[in-house]
Amino acid sequence: MRVRVMKTDGTAEPYLHTKVLGTFHHALSAAGEPNLYAAEQMAQAVTYYLHSGSSGRTVTSDEIHLMIQAVLHDTGHCAAAEALNQHRMQRKLLRKRIEVINDSAHESPCVSAWSKSVIVEHLMRRHHLNRPLARAIAGQVEEKVFRMEILRIRRELIRQLVENETEALLRADEQLNITL
Q: Note the pLDDT tens digit of each residue in 82-111.
A: 999 999 999 999 999 999 998 776 667 789
Residue 157: pLDDT band (50, 70, 90) is very high
At residue 107, what are phi and psi to the nearest 5 degrees?
A: -130, 155
- Residues 35-52 have pLDDT tens digits of 999 999 999 999 999 998
Q: Is the pLDDT of residue 169 over 70?
A: yes
CA dist., res. 116 & res. 37, Å (int)? 32
CA dist., res. 125 & res. 147, Å (int)? 27
Q: What is the pTM of this model?
A: 0.79
Least confident of 3-12, 44-53, 100-109, 129-138: 100-109
Q: For the residues of 141-176, what is the DSSP string, one character each?
A: HHHHHHHHT-SEEEHHHHHHHHHHHHHHHHHHHHHH
- Angle at CA of residue 55, ends 50 and 59, nearest 5°: 45
